[in-house]
C-alpha cells in the first residue's frame, strides 16, 4: 500500500482475535506492507505503533505529533480545527460532528499530504464531506426533536457518539441500544454502563441477536448498569417507537448499533429492518 492509516485501537472483534495484543499485532502488519504510515499518537496503541512501524511515518494528534489539531470546535453542524503545515496555519472545516470526526479528518488530511496532495485541495475535500450513511446520520423528520442513527456497537464507539451528542443537545438524550449476539460478550456490561451513564434515558433492546436468546444478551448488558434512567424493551421496533413517543422539543433520539444496516439477524435469517423506514412509519401514525 502507498499509505497505511492507524486511527485507534479499541475493544472489538475479540471473538476472533481473543486478546487486545493479538488485535494490535494484526493491525501492525499493515505498516510492514505500506510505504508510508499515518498514525494517531493520542491513542496509546498508536504511540507504540509509531515506534515499531518500519515504514516512513507521519504522526497526528492533539498533543505531540508531526501534524497537530488545535483550536478544535465541534457542534451539531460540524467540526473545525487548525493545523500548522510547512510554516502556515490552515483552518480545516467539515460538516461532521464529534471529536472522533476530528481525528478521522486529521488522519485523512495526513494521508492526502503523504500522497502529495496539495493542502488546499485536501481542505476543500474535507469541507465538502458530508459523512456516510449510518454515522451520526440525521433522519429527516418534521418533529421539534432530532432523530440520529449511528453504527456505534462497541464501548469506545458508544462513548464517542454519546459524548458528541451530549456536547450539542438542547434537551434530553434518549439512546436506544443493544449488543450483537454470537460476538464478544465481555463488552456487554461495559456498554450497559456507558449507555445508561451518558444518556438521559436509555432504552436497552436487541441488536442482531443471531443465534443467542435476546433476553440473555440484555441480561448481560444489565450487569454493567450502575446509574441512570433506563427501560428494557426487547423488540427493537417497539423500542424505537417508545423512544419517539416520549421525545419532547429539543431532545435527541439516538438509535445505536445498526447504522447503515437495513436488516436484523434473528437466528440465521436476515429480515428487512431499516430504521429510517421505521421512524417514518411511527411518525405517520
Domains and CATH numbers, the chain: 3-128 (3.40.1190.10), 137-284 (3.90.190.20)
Instruction: Kindly write down the DSSP assignment for every residue of the chain, as one continuous string.
Output: --EEEE----S--HHHH-SHHHHHHHHHGGGGS-SEEEEETTSHHHHHHHHH--SEEEEEESSSSSEE-EEEEEETTEEEEEEEETTEEEEEEES--SHHHHHHHHHHHHHHHHTT--HHHHHHHHHH----TTSSEEPP-SSSSEEEEE---SHHHHHHHHHHHHHH-SS-EEEEE---TTS-TTHHHHHHHHHHHSSSEEEE--S--BTS-HHHHHHHHHTT--SSEEEE-SSHHHHHHHHHHH--TT-EEEEES-TT--EEEETTEEEE--HHHHHHHHHH-
Q: What is the pLDDT along the chain (285 residues), one digit of tens a residue?
A: 999 999 999 888 878 888 999 999 999 999 999 999 999 999 999 999 999 999 999 999 999 999 999 999 998 889 999 999 999 999 999 999 999 999 999 999 999 999 999 999 999 999 999 888 999 999 999 999 999 999 999 999 999 999 999 999 999 999 999 999 999 999 999 999 999 999 999 999 999 999 999 999 999 999 999 999 999 999 999 999 999 999 999 999 999 999 999 999 999 999 999 999 999 999 998
Strands 88-94 and 78-85, how do they pair?
A: antiparallel
- pLDDT value of residue 13: 83
pLDDT digit string, tens, across residues 225-264: 999 999 999 999 999 999 999 999 999 999 999 999 999 9
φ/ψ (deg, to 5) at 46: -65, -40
pLDDT digit string, tens, across residues 96-109: 999 999 999 999 99
- pLDDT value of residue 91: 98
- pLDDT value of residue 278: 98
Whole-number Å distance between alpha carbons of 215 and 33: 44
- pLDDT value of residue 274: 98
- pLDDT value of residue 222: 98
Amino acid at each position: 500500500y502507498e499509505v497505511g492509516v492507524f486511527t485507534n485501537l479499541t475493544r472489538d472483534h475479540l471473538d476472533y482475535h481473543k486478546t487486545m495484543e493479538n488485535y494490535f499485532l494484526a493491525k501492525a502488519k499493515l505498516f510492514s506492507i505500506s510505504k508510508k504510515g499515518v498514525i494517531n499518537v493520542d491513542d496509546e496503541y498508536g504511540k507504540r505503533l509509531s515506534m515499531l512501524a518500519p515504514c516512513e511515518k507521519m504522526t497526528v494528534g492533539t498533543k505531540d505529533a508531526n501534524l497537530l489539531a488545535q483550536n478544535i470546535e465541534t457542534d451539531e453542524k460540524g467540526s473545525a480545527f487548525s493545523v500548522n503545515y510547512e510554516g502556515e496555519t490552515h483552518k480545516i472545516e467539515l460538516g461532521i460532528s464529534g471529536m472522533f470526526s476530528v481525528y478521522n479528518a486529521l488522519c485523512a488530511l495526513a494521508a492526502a499530504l503523504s500522497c502529495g496532495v496539495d493542502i488546499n485541495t485536501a481542505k476543500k475535500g474535507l469541507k465538502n464531506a458530508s459523512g456516510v450513511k449510518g454515522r451520526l446520520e440525521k433522519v429527516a423528520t418534521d418533529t421539534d426533536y432530532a432523530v440520529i442513527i449511528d453504527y456505534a456497537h462497541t464501548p469506545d464507539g458508544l462513548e464517542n457518539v454519546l459524548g458528541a451528542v451530549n456536547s450539542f443537545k438542547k434537551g434530553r438524550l434518549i439512546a436506544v441500544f443493544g449488543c450483537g449476539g454470537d460476538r464478544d460478550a465481555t463488552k456487554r456490561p461495559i456498554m450497559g454502563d456507558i449507555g445508561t451513564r451518558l444518556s438521559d434515558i436509555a432504552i436497552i433492546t436487541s441488536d442482531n441477536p443471531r443465534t443467542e436468546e435476546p433476553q440473555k444478551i440484555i441480561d448481560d448488558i444489565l450487569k454493567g448498569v450502575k446509574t441512570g434512567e433506563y427501560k428494557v424493551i426487547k423488540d427493537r421496533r417497539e423500542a424505537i417507537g417508545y423512544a419517539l413517543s416520549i421525545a419532547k422539543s429539543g431532545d435527541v433520539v439516538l438509535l445505536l448499533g445498526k447504522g447503515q444496516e437495513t436488516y436484523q439477524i434473528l437466528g440465521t435469517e436476515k429480515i428487512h429492518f431499516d430504521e429510517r423506514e421505521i421512524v417514518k412509519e411511527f411518525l405517520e401514525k
